[in-house]
Amino acid sequence: MATPKKEQPNIAAATPGPLFFRDILGQERVLGHLRAARRAERLAHAYLFLGPEGVGKESVARALAAALNCTQPLPDWDACGACPSCRRMAAGTHADFVKIFPTSESRQPQIKIEQIREFRRLTAYPPMEGGWRVALIKPAEDMHPAAANALLKTLEEPPARHLLILAAASETELFPTIVSRCQKMPFTPLPSALVVRELEARRGLSRADAVFLTALSGGSLGRALTLDPQEMAQQRRQVLEDLEKLGQGSPGAAVAWAKALAKNNQALDNFILLAQMWYRDLLLLNCGAAGRFLAHQDCLADLEQQQKRGGPEIWFARFGDLAAAHRQLQANLNPELTLDILGFRLQRQGTRL
Ligand SMILES: [Zn+2]
């Protein structure tokens, strides 16, 4: 394990992103709720933003902090973007917007008790700029149990003009005592059409590339923006080759494949996702769906070729096997063992082709 660097509570301004409610994509229910709560002066003292990475949890937290501190908010309660408070929010230098995130000096990044203690010391004083102090804790599931316990005290006795936002993928890994003291706000994956449009506009991608990355992103624009279409196309080629080999190979081939893939978590996740989307496309084509509904629409000729060699029964089975492996990996089962079994299953079906 790496030697811890200098102990430094990691409280810092957030990274740039949308600053206004008007720039947030999707999440209309969350925004509607926050606006209504503000109008009724019934904002909770702590929110738990729940949803996958990259769907706007941090952006909403920033927009909320900006709107709460803006000196000339717009009529629909959004920050003006021009007042001194908004300018500091945009520059990431607002003293009353704090982000508490994991320190990364160890292999497993963690939000430490020192970070929460430093935040608690801060809450003994009113917000420095006279408005609201907004703290974003993200990802909340990375809080060390001692940190979560320390935070509980703040949640039990919320200081005035303070708003806490915990962002997490799900509540399952959080203490129930923390969850019960926050108001839950479910964030939804973004609609595919919206992610495709943003990818085309922001990255100048072709429609086929934008659709391909959108399908792999699971409705997370943040993830879609980080994916490289060429790299993913290369990985897809590898996945298709592996599936082909597994279909014909010996048991030794499945074991070797499992051993190699188990070493790389990202490649493993991508294998499962790319393969699942492949079988989904074959099933869609089989139902007569138009090419524009496919994730791999740039591979139509290959898909049509494969269609002649299999049938829905085998594609359903393969999709189900991949889904089962995915569930087992998420439950932290041994990756190599899970992949051994997946390899044998795919192989068994391959021989029936
Ligand atoms: Zn303003």
* pLDDT value, residue 254: 87
Distance between CA 351 and CA 224 in Å, rounded?
35
Convert the pLDDT of each residue in 50-68 to its tens digit. 998 889 999 999 999 999 9
C-alpha distances in Å from residue 244, one per residue of 181, 276, 353: 51, 15, 11
Residue 217 C-alpha to ligand 1 middle, in angstroms? 33
* pLDDT value, residue 16: 56
Residue 131 C-alpha to ligand 1 middle, in angstroms? 12
DSSP one-letter string for 93-113: --TTEEEE--B-SSSS-BB-H
Contacts of 238-246 with C-beta under 8 Å, sequence gap 24+, read: 239/270, 239/271, 239/274, 239/275, 239/278, 240/278, 240/302, 242/271, 243/275, 243/278, 243/346, 243/350, 246/343, 246/346, 246/347, 246/350
Q: Which amino acid appears at position 295 of this protein?
A: A
Residue 344 C-alpha to ligand 1 middle, in angstroms? 60
pTM of structure: 0.78
Tokens, residue 70: 């803006």
* pLDDT value, residue 18: 79
| pLDDT at 325 > cutoff 90 | yes
Residue 68 C-alpha to ligand 1 middle, in angstroms? 9
Distance between CA 272 and CA 172 in Å, rounded?
23
- Banded pLDDT at 105 (limits 50, 70, 90): low
Residue 62 C-alpha to ligand 1 middle, in angstroms? 13
* pLDDT value, residue 111: 95
The closest of 94, 84, 153 to 123, measured between CA atoms, is 153
38-71 burial by CB neighbour count: b if 16+ within 10 A, else e? eeeeebbbbbbbbbbebbbbbbbbbbbbbbbbbe
Domain limits of the chain? 11-186, 228-351
C-alpha distances in Å from residue 51, one per residue of 12, 115, 154, 166, 219: 23, 24, 23, 11, 11
| pLDDT at 353 > cutoff 70 | no
Residue 73 C-alpha to ligand 1 middle, in angstroms? 6
DSSP one-letter string for 227-296: --HHHHHHHHHHHHHHHHHHHH--HHHHHHHHHHHTT-HHHHHHHHHHHHHHHHHHHHHHTT--GGG-TT
Residue 87 C-alpha to ligand 1 middle, in angstroms? 7
Residue 89 C-alpha to ligand 1 middle, in angstroms? 9
What is the topology classification, in CATH, of domain 228-351? Zinc Finger, Delta Prime; domain 3 (1.20.272)
Convert the pLDDT of each residue in 172-190 to its tens digit. 999 999 999 999 999 999 8
DSSP one-letter string for 65-85: HHHHH-SS--TTS---S-SHH
Residue 35 C-alpha to ligand 1 middle, in angstroms? 16
Q: What percent of the chain has pLDDT over 90?
A: 66
Where is 120: in which H helix or E strand?
helix 113-123
* pLDDT value, residue 56: 92
Residue 70 C-alpha to ligand 1 middle, in angstroms? 4
What is the topology classification, in CATH, of domain 11-186? Rossmann fold (3.40.50)
Lowest mean pLDDT among 135-139, 209-213, 304-308, 322-326: 304-308
Residue 188 C-alpha to ligand 1 middle, in angstroms? 28
Find out whether 94 and 69 touch, Cβ atoms under 8 Å: yes
Residue 115 C-alpha to ligand 1 middle, in angstroms? 29
* pLDDT value, residue 350: 59
| pLDDT at 213 > cutoff 70 | yes
Residue 149 C-alpha to ligand 1 middle, in angstroms? 35
* pLDDT value, residue 145: 95
- Banded pLDDT at 292 (limits 50, 70, 90): confident
Convert the pLDDT of each residue in 37-53 to its tens digit. 999 999 999 999 999 88
Which residues lie at CB < 5 A from ion ligand 1? 70, 79-80, 83, 86
Convert the pLDDT of each residue in 252-289 to its tens digit. 888 889 999 999 888 898 999 999 999 999 999 999 98
- Banded pLDDT at 107 (limits 50, 70, 90): low
- Tell me the pLDDT of the chain averaged across its residues: 88
Residue 200 C-alpha to ligand 1 middle, in angstroms? 31
* pLDDT value, residue 246: 85
